[in-house]
Structure 1
Amino acid sequence: MIRKTSLLAGVALALSLAACSPDPESSFARGQEAFAEHDFRAARVALIAGLREKPGNLEMRALLARTQIALGDGEGAAATLERLPAGEKGAPEFATLMGEAEVLRGRYAEATAAVEGIETAGADCVRALALLAQGKVEDAAKAFAVGEGRDPADPRLLASSARFELARGDIERARMLADRAAQVDAASIEARLAQALVARVRDRLPASLAYYDAALKEHPANFEARLGKADLLLVMEKYDDARPLVSGLFEEAPENRDIALLRAKLAARDGEWKQVRDILQAFEADMRDIPQMRLVYGEALLELGNGAQALTLLQPMLRANPGARDLRALIARTQLAVGDAQGALDTIELLAMRPDAQPEELAVAAKAAKAAGSNKATEFEKRSRQATPEWVGGELAKADRALRNRQWESAERSYEAIMAKGASKNALVLNNLAYAKSHLGKKDEALKMALQAVELDPQNASILDTAGWLLVQNGSRDRGVAMLEKAAKLDPDNAAIANRLARAKKS
């Protein structure tokens, strides 16, 4: 009886294990689906499971190698491809994948050898990237150019070439290549990401965000697109939108240093300097390669009273980049904090002597000069309250650029700085400040300034448009509609004004 029970139990266990073993075909299907969605981590798990059962499935093996390459795992991809039958390794598809894996592994000669004799855009891209990694920029450009001339055109190569040109500083050519990649394949995420990067470098932040959104609409799990969008949202000061995205990325890749920097920036925004330090401390060894991380970490150390340590971190950066304005100001503040007033004055004076010196820079200079016993303190203090034409021009340019890029806090800060220095009776400054404040939810302040702008320039259609729409939003519908009607008469071809007028009448 005991033996029979044991036998039945053994059979049941074997059947249960068989039921729990993944079906290789379903694993492959899950892997394909996850890959298509750019959920490469899920794809890797499914494909590895499938290959355990069917190690000879070449299509599944190729997809696993592509997945590992997408994850930056050159070693894993190479190991996957090494298990191919000897007769298959030289096939163009597999050889090109091995070339990509070798580039990721830093084995550039091997990468080039892997694609020798293969005349495809994919092989051209491997050759170009291998040459670029070796510092052979002109040879890489030639390799990309060969790939660009292939027929049919390859959107992945075109997108890679766009990034290459962007890094070389040829923004217009990068834009042309990225747009061409998108024309070849409107669904290409590589094309959309290249377009997003180009738009950002061109200071077209809303356009860059639209490209990221388009990429994520097609591939919501794509890691690079989510990371790029999160970083851009911080630049655009959309902190509430960025937080859940950064949180999700951190859960997925807690050791990623780019995500750590985003988390630190959000903590700095909240004034949580201890949290900033705790986030970035684990990446001290990597900071030489990430100047922005060093800058944020240095400021955290200063705010936590570790000025000497901050200087050790920041001063080498200034020696390498003496024209870095924010960095110079931060170091001067740090020198003041550790009691080196003369050092602070020597550091900040280059900025304080500029005709477009910022009030904050002049304030630090005045404080340093006073502590160092310099007679320049009075001059710096006086200039901090004055508005030079150079400063006003620079601040207006900053404010207008921020407004165009929907960086409402920066726009508000610059316009208010201009007004604080006696330039408040400018209708357009008031109008633009009102517009920025309205997007920050400060409706009452915005309306007050918009109406002041109307008093100064009652025949300006744009100014009437801002004030009229704010009146409608704040409950004064009839007065707002009347103002919008006047704006529409002054500028009858303005579709935006006509649209707001129609909406106001329906409200």
Structure 2
Amino acid sequence: MNTGAGKRSWRMARVIAMLVLTATVLAGIALVARRAARPSPREELVASLAAMKRGNYSAARNHAIAASEGPDPAPANAVLGRTYLLIGDGAAAEGALNRAVAAGMPRVRLHQLFADAYLAQGDPERALAEAARAAPRYGVYAARVRARALAARGEVPSATALLEEVLARQPNDAAAFGALGRIRMAAGDVLGADLASRRAMALDPANLDAIVLAGEVVRSRYGLVAALPWFERALSQDAYYLPALIQYAATAGEAGRYTAMLSATRRALAARPSSPQALYLHAVMAARAGNRDLARTLLGRTGDAGLTMPGVVMLAGMLAYADGGYEQAVVSFREVVGRQPMNLVARRLLGASLLRSGDARGALEILRPIAVRPDADSYTLALAGRAFEATGERDWAARFLDRAARPALADPQPFAGDGSPGALAAAVAGAPGDPALAVAYARSLVDGGRIDLAEQRAEAIATASPGAPEAQLLAGDVLATQRRFGAALARYRQAANLRFDAPVMLRLAEAANRTGATREATAALSLYLSQNPQSLVAHRVLANLQLGARDWPAAVDTLERLHEGTGNRDALIQAQLAYAYTAAGDAETGLGYGRAAYQLAPMNPAACDAYGWALYEQGKTDAALQLLEKAAKLAPDHAGIRWHLGQALADAGRTAEARREIAQALRYPAFPDRAPATALLKLIGA
């Protein structure tokens, strides 16, 4: 019998038993400590209400979830439902409210919250019915829900009137001011939305929806970069507030701040993985990075909600087009054009997709509204020309392809309205307080040539809706149609103070330039570019103004930035670079750009002229003359091209022809080189 081994075993067992006992005691102590440190359900509920009051809705939700696990879940779930409503999750709010009722809370106390939840899920009819059941003590909340539901049904005047009644009784109701601001913004009354959102923030500085609305107003009035601090302000209170994250990500992306966009999008997906807006923004970034497979996967995750978002449908069409799925692209782009008839990008892409899919007639039908305009862009004209080629109508194809090869010399015109004057007049009669219908009706009058009546209607709308940029824009467009650019400029200034986007900026710059206020046009463009640094159209217009003002170094800088963004595919930019470098004294660089422009578009008069003028400035007059004469034949009404040709002819000793070309240039009132042209004409014996 081995007594030593037995003793060792016994000692080992004692050690193990003591270790187990110690571990058990320590675990018990830790459990007790954790329970002592964890707030009680009641404390969690109080913390939720406090977080809600200071504007941290995500924290309020988390505290309410913890409180709902306690012995009295009814009030906790009711508060949880309110937090879900504040962050815009209607389905989760409805679920929490149902749990509150199941736990014993009378439904009569929750009708207004259920109504809000139904509205957040996109069901205004059910929201209206439920709000009507609310108890009188919750009447103000129910009235706010009814107003928002009416607005969702398109009954904007009734919704506004209802909120104004609420505010007459409750002048310090921040939520009512916030709802009024949202409705006004959606109706196009930017100034009214601004006033309402600021009043809501003054009454309740922690109102995140009002802060985000203020950011949207600032983005409309002043630009992308100016709006970002407002969204950051909301996120400083609640880092995972989804509406602020979505607005911040979208705005940062448009401003070219892609790192910030990616960070905000990731946080939005962490806050709500199923958010269609966040998934869409992430898909946009994936598409920009060239990862089309990931972009398609993300769009697929948006589900049915994504189908209601034009941006999602548009991106799906672009991905299909890039992959050669033209029939699928047609379906997507047709959906967007059906919802947004004035979306020119979607219309062009639909035309291109129809043409690629073999439906040339369908492409012509879609492209016709913009291809027949005097200021149609070369891409649309080329598409129309190829469509006519596909149908065998070669005469029409030649006309459109010829126009596509020439610069657009016609004045820009507003895009045609959607709908006949008669139908829109009836719609206005049925909804006299809807400014959007009134604007559409007046635009239809312009399209129909009834300018006098259109002007009367436009002025009446602009006077009645001083805070609606569309109304001011309409009044300016009617005046510009009559070439009354001074009066139009005043209206465009008012519109720009309300919504400083590309259409308003372009009209303002054009009207200012037409009235000789070139500095104002340049200042407007510079301001716009400071807020929208990615805008190619603004850079193009700025370059045109700089070229017109003979500011060659500035024009070179702007055009080089454009060239960097578009690559070597844009003949007009290369031609303008040739002009700018040549005039700045660098004819060698100008010649390189001129040659590149001509190789891209040998039938474009601007390319011919730019190449020829660079050759002339290098002393190669004979070679230059061939190109300058070709340019003059392609654009016989362009004074600048005739002036260039006249100088080259004079240098070649062909004085009679030179006199004829210079005299033709001098016939144009807006010809900017009148003094040197007159001097040269005298010198060669006019």
Residues 85-124 of structure 1 aligned to structure 2 (within 5 Å): 96-97=112-113, 99-101=115-117, 103-104=119-120, 106=123, 107-109=126-128, 111-118=130-137, 121-124=140-143
Q: Which runs of 5+ in 2 are unaligned?
A: 1-12, 414-479, 481-501, 510-523, 566-576, 585-686
Q: Quote the offset at 1:309 in angstroms.
A: 1.7
Q: Quote the offset at 1:52 in angstroms.
A: 2.5
Judged with a 3 Å threshold, the aligned counterparts in structure 2 of structure 1 residues 248 and 130 are, in CA distance, closer, same or farther, namely closer
Q: Quote the offset at 1:354 in angstroms.
A: 1.3
Q: Aligned partners of 1:38, 1:108: CA distance in 2, in Å?
A: 25
Q: Aligned partners of 1:386, 1:370: CA distance in 2, in Å?
A: 22
Q: Aligned partners of 2:46, 2:272: CA distance in 1, in Å?
A: 25
Q: Quote the offset at 1:366 in angstroms.
A: 3.2
Asked if structure 2 preserves the Cα contact closer than 8 Å seen for 1:74 and 1:103, the reply is: no
Q: Which runs of 5+ in 1 are unaligned?
A: 443-448, 457-507
Corresponding residue number in structure 2 for 1:408: 533
Q: Aligned partners of 1:336, 1:314: CA distance in 2, in Å?
A: 13
Corresponding residue number in structure 2 for 1:48: 65
Corresponding residue number in structure 2 for 1:67: 83
Asked if structure 1 preserves the Cα contact closer than 8 Å seen for 2:56 and 2:237, the reply is: no
Please list the CA deviations of residues 15-37 of structure 1 after superposition, one character each: whole Å capped at 9, or x if unmatched. 66555554316645764576467
Judged with a 3 Å threshold, the aligned counterparts in structure 2 of structure 1 residues 89 and 348 are, in CA distance, closer, same or farther, namely closer
1:377 aligns with 2:397: yes
Give the number of aligned pairs.
442
Corresponding residue number in structure 2 for 1:217: 236
SS of corresponding position for 1:115: coil
Asked if structure 2 preserves the Cα contact closer than 8 Å seen for 1:64 and 1:80, the reply is: no
Corresponding residue number in structure 2 for 1:388: 409
Please list the CA deviations of residues 71-91 of structure 1 after superposition, one character each: whole Å capped at 9, or x if unmatched. 4223233135426766x8767
1:424 to 534, 547, 554: 547
Q: Aligned partners of 1:181, 1:428: CA distance in 2, in Å?
A: 47
Judged with a 3 Å threshold, the aligned counterparts in structure 2 of structure 1 residues 96 and 114 are, in CA distance, closer, same or farther, namely same
2:300 to 261, 265, 281: 281
Corresponding residue number in structure 2 for 1:501: none
Corresponding residue number in structure 2 for 1:147: 166
1:157 to 148, 151, 176: 176
Q: Aligned partners of 2:322, 2:526: CA distance in 1, in Å?
A: 27
Please list the CA deviations of residues 184-210 of structure 1 after superposition, one character each: whole Å capped at 9, or x if unmatched. 334432221222223344464334333
Counterpart residue type for residue 528 of structure 2: R
1:270 to 289, 293, 296: 289
Q: Quote the offset at 1:387 in angstroms.
A: 3.2
Counterpart residue type for residue 291 of structure 2: E
Counterpart residue type for residue 378 of structure 1: A
State which drifts further: 242-251 or 371-380.
371-380
Counterpart residue type for residue 258 of structure 2: Y
Asked if structure 2 preserves the Cα contact closer than 8 Å seen for 1:69 and 1:77, the reply is: no
Asked if structure 2 preserves the Cα contact closer than 8 Å seen for 1:120 and 1:147, the reply is: no
Asked if structure 2 preserves the Cα contact closer than 8 Å seen for 1:341 and 1:369, the reply is: yes
Q: Quote the offset at 1:418 in angstroms.
A: 8.0
Asked if structure 2 preserves the Cα contact closer than 8 Å seen for 1:370 and 1:377, the reply is: yes
Asked if structure 2 preserves the Cα contact closer than 8 Å seen for 1:38 and 1:221, the reply is: no
Q: Aligned partners of 2:325, 2:227: CA distance in 1, in Å?
A: 38
Judged with a 3 Å threshold, the aligned counterparts in structure 2 of structure 1 residues 357 and 227 are, in CA distance, closer, same or farther, namely same
Q: Aligned partners of 1:124, 1:312: CA distance in 2, in Å?
A: 41
Judged with a 3 Å threshold, the aligned counterparts in structure 2 of structure 1 residues 254 and 13 are, in CA distance, closer, same or farther, namely same
Q: Aligned partners of 1:424, 1:304: CA distance in 2, in Å?
A: 39
**TM-score by structure 2 length?**
0.55
Counterpart residue type for residue 532 of structure 2: Q
Corresponding residue number in structure 2 for 1:175: 194
Judged with a 3 Å threshold, the aligned counterparts in structure 2 of structure 1 residues 229 and 64 are, in CA distance, closer, same or farther, namely same
Asked if structure 1 preserves the Cα contact closer than 8 Å seen for 2:542 and 2:558, the reply is: no
Asked if structure 1 preserves the Cα contact closer than 8 Å seen for 2:245 and 2:264, the reply is: yes
State which drifts further: 309-318 or 328-337.
309-318
Counterpart residue type for residue 240 of structure 1: T
Q: Aligned partners of 1:211, 1:425: CA distance in 2, in Å?
A: 38
1:238 aligns with 2:257: yes
Corresponding residue number in structure 2 for 1:297: 316
Judged with a 3 Å threshold, the aligned counterparts in structure 2 of structure 1 residues 337 and 181 are, in CA distance, closer, same or farther, namely same
Q: Quote the offset at 1:103 in angstroms.
A: 4.4
Q: Aligned partners of 1:97, 1:433: CA distance in 2, in Å?
A: 60
Q: Aligned partners of 2:151, 2:367: CA distance in 1, in Å?
A: 39
State which drifts further: 16-25 or 121-130.
16-25
Q: Quote the offset at 1:57 in angstroms.
A: 8.9
Q: Aligned partners of 2:176, 2:86: CA distance in 1, in Å?
A: 15
Corresponding residue number in structure 1 for 2:506: 397
Q: Quote the offset at 1:435 in angstroms.
A: 6.6
Asked if structure 1 preserves the Cα contact closer than 8 Å seen for 2:180 and 2:193, the reply is: yes
Counterpart residue type for residue 334 of structure 2: Q
Please list the CA deviations of residues 422-465 of structure 1 after superposition, one character each: whole Å capped at 9, or x if unmatched. 983534697478479789999xxxxxx9xx79x99xxxxxxxxx
Corresponding residue number in structure 2 for 1:487: none
Query: What value does the CA root-mean-square deviation take over the aligned residues?
Result: 4.3
Judged with a 3 Å threshold, the aligned counterparts in structure 2 of structure 1 residues 381 and 204 are, in CA distance, closer, same or farther, namely same
Percentage of matched positions with identical amino acids: 22
SS of corresponding position for 1:156: helix
Asked if structure 2 preserves the Cα contact closer than 8 Å seen for 1:129 and 1:140, the reply is: yes
Corresponding residue number in structure 1 for 2:215: 196
Q: Aligned partners of 1:192, 1:334: CA distance in 2, in Å?
A: 42
SS of corresponding position for 1:375: helix
Corresponding residue number in structure 1 for 2:365: 346
Q: Aligned partners of 1:144, 1:353: CA distance in 2, in Å?
A: 46
Q: Quote the offset at 1:153 in angstroms.
A: 1.1
Asked if structure 1 preserves the Cα contact closer than 8 Å seen for 2:112 and 2:138, the reply is: no
Corresponding residue number in structure 2 for 1:470: none
Judged with a 3 Å threshold, the aligned counterparts in structure 2 of structure 1 residues 246 and 320 are, in CA distance, closer, same or farther, namely closer
State which drifts further: 279-288 or 95-104.
95-104
Q: Aligned partners of 1:204, 1:219: CA distance in 2, in Å?
A: 24
Higher RCO, 1 or 2 (CA under 8 Å, sep at least 6)? 2
Judged with a 3 Å threshold, the aligned counterparts in structure 2 of structure 1 residues 427 and 353 are, in CA distance, closer, same or farther, namely same
1:79 to 49, 74, 98: 98
Q: Aligned partners of 1:341, 1:429: CA distance in 2, in Å?
A: 44
Please list the CA deviations of residues 382-417 of structure 1 after superposition, one character each: whole Å capped at 9, or x if unmatched. 333313242599998188568515222324x55448
Judged with a 3 Å threshold, the aligned counterparts in structure 2 of structure 1 residues 123 and 436 are, in CA distance, closer, same or farther, namely farther
Q: Quote the offset at 1:10 in angstroms.
A: 8.4
Q: Aligned partners of 2:359, 2:153: CA distance in 1, in Å?
A: 44
Q: Quote the offset at 1:163 in angstroms.
A: 0.6
Q: Aligned partners of 1:46, 1:422: CA distance in 2, in Å?
A: 58
Asked if structure 2 preserves the Cα contact closer than 8 Å seen for 1:298 and 1:310, the reply is: yes
Q: Quote the offset at 1:117 in angstroms.
A: 1.7
Asked if structure 2 preserves the Cα contact closer than 8 Å seen for 1:265 and 1:276, the reply is: yes
Corresponding residue number in structure 1 for 2:615: none
Asked if structure 1 preserves the Cα contact closer than 8 Å seen for 2:231 and 2:248, the reply is: yes
Q: Aligned partners of 1:372, 1:135: CA distance in 2, in Å?
A: 43
Asked if structure 1 preserves the Cα contact closer than 8 Å seen for 2:112 and 2:145, the reply is: yes
Q: Quote the offset at 1:380 in angstroms.
A: 2.8
Q: Quote the offset at 1:162 in angstroms.
A: 0.8
